[in-house]
């Protein structure tokens, strides 16, 4: 049922699915992304309401379709398709593992390496007369990616798919209403950027994305991402997994390793937890998380102007998002097993 829903969603993004894209999608390196959830592992805990598995591959295909819809440029489309090719299991939890919890970009530098080492991808690029440097960095194409708080294909895609699949804030018809209102505009810097034709629809998009932006860094999410990262670090230090395993194994396979380890009990306690605890003071005798995380927000164009400049409601939603405090200590009632 979900695959049928995803196909319907893809059709909204691009009525014409470019046939040439299938060969790239079916390469081993991209197919690995099929087994990684975009939720950074939170899908596996009852702290979160959604257990819908929307994969990193689904996200990458959808970004490519958005870029194709607006540009019909093969190189830009492939840059969107490959932008997460170096994403490991549990996605941004590995950024937490690497100490990069505020930017969450620590694995992006491997994109070129992953493309270069794929014989199948390189054969396809040679056939299409495309150079690796033309598709290995989607930051060079402003429709594919740009800096916060601008709207790009990547930011638009995870907003629409999370609103539909994960948070149930939009129906598929509402996704289509929002998407159909988007066009390419010029921003205040003279750059091209995705923007809205209609103020009311831009406002609706901002209200939805501002709610979700908090969820990407709220107390349960920060706790869960650091918790998974710390388990992975312990398993790596104990020789149970390697960093390479995070790029080669399915999330389900790594979860099996966790469940066969001494971290089984605390992992299952996290999976079954219904509520997170917070405190302004450092808690004692429990595992806790006390750190910031990446702040995501979108202030899109509407007829060439930032929606926050022309709509007080949108600005209020953005300001509320940005004011969310990450100062609390966050914990559950358990501690890590002691190391030898």
Q: What is the pLDDT of residues 55-92, one digit of tens each?
A: 999 999 999 999 999 999 999 999 999 999 999 999 99
Taking the model in full, what pTM does it have? Answer: 0.96
pLDDT band, residue 46 (cuts 50/70/90): very high
Does the structure show a pLDDT above 70 at 1?
A: no
Average pLDDT over residues 245-274: 97
* Mean pLDDT, rounded, of the chain: 95
Q: How many residues does the chain have?
A: 340
How much is the pLDDT for 307? 98
pLDDT for 339: 75
User: What's the confidence (pLDDT) of residue 102?
Assistant: 66
The two three-digit tokens of residue 85, written as one number = 């090719």
Range 32-49 average pLDDT: 96
- The H or E element containing residue 272 is helix 264-272
Q: What is the pLDDT of residue 96?
A: 87
Does residue 216 contact residue 293 with C-beta atoms inside 8 Å? yes
Q: Which residues contact 53 (CB under 8 A, 6 or more apart)?
A: 2, 37, 43
Check if the beta carbon of residue 37 is closer than 8 Å to that of residue 55. yes
What lies within 8 Å, CB to CB, of 264 at 6+ separation is 258
pLDDT at position 338 over 90: no
pLDDT tens digit sequence for 30-40: 999 999 999 99
Flag whether pLDDT at 340 surpasses 70: no
Nearest CA among 35, 124, 11, 12 for reference residue 74: 124
In this predicted model, what pLDDT tens digit does every residue of 261-315 receive, in sequence order?
Answer: 999 999 999 999 999 999 999 999 999 999 899 999 999 999 999 999 999 999 9
**Section 198-217 average pLDDT:** 98
For 184-199, how does the pLDDT look when each residue is reduced to its tens digit (9 = 90+)? 999 999 999 999 999 9
pLDDT value, residue 174: 98
Question: 340 with 231: CB under 8 angstroms?
Answer: no
Higher pLDDT, 205 or 103: 205
Tokens of 128: 């299409």
In the chain, the domains with their CATH numbers are: 1-340 (1.10.3210.10)
pLDDT at res. 101: 64
d(CA 295, CA 322): 8
- H-helix or E-strand containing 200? helix 199-215
Q: Residue 41 phi/psi, 5° resolution?
A: 90, -15
For the segment 97-153, what is each residue's pLDDT rounded down to a tens digit? 888 766 767 777 889 999 999 999 999 999 999 999 999 999 999 999 999 999 999
What pLDDT shows up at residue 99? 83
User: By percentage, how much of the chain surpasses pLDDT 70?
Assistant: 99
Question: In sequence order, which ranges of 45-191 are alpha helices (DSSP H)?
Answer: 56-71, 74-82, 93-97, 111-116, 119-127, 153-161, 172-180
């Amino acid at each position: 049922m979900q695959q049928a829903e995803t196909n319907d969603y893809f059709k909204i993004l691009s009525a014409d699915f470019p046939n040439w894209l299938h060969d790239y999608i079916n390469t081993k390196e991209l197919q690995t992304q099929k087994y990684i959830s975009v939720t950074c592992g939170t899908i596996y805990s009852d702290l979160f309401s959604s257990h819908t598995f929307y994969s990193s591959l689904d996200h990458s295909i959808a970004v490519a379709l958005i870029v194709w819809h607006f540009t019909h440029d093969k190189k830009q489309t492939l840059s969107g398709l490959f932008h997460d090719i170096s994403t490991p299991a549990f996605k941004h939890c590995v950024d937490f593992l690497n100490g990069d919890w505020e930017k969450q970009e620590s694995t992006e530098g491997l994109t070129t390496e992953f493309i270069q080492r794929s014989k199948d991808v390189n054969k396809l690029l040679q056939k299409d007369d495309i150079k690796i440097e033309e598709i290995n960095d989607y930051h060079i194409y402003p429709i594919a990616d740009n800096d916060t708080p601008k709207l790009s294909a990547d930011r638009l895609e995870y907003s629409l798919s999370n609103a539909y699949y994960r948070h149930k804030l939009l129906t598929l018809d509402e996704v289509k209403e929002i998407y159909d209102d988007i066009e390419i505009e010029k921003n205040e810097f003279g750059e091209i950027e995705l923007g809205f034709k209609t103020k009311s629809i831009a406002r609706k998009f901002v209200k939805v994305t501002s709610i979700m932006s908090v969820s990407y860094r709220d107390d349960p999410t920060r706790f869960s991402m650091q918790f998974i990262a710390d388990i992975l670090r312990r398993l790596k230090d104990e020789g149970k997994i390697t960093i390479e395993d995070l790029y080669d194994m399915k999330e389900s396979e790594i979860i099996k390793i966790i469940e066969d380890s001494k971290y089984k009990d605390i992992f299952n306690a996290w999976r079954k937890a219904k509520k997170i605890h917070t405190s302004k003071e450092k808690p004692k005798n429990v595992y806790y998380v006390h750190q910031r995380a990446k702040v995501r927000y979108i202030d899109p164009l509407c007829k060439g102007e930032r929606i926050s400049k022309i709509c007080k409601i949108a600005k209020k939603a953005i300001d509320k998002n940005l004011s969310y405090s990450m100062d609390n200590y966050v914990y559950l009632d358990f501690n890590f097993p002691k190391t030898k």
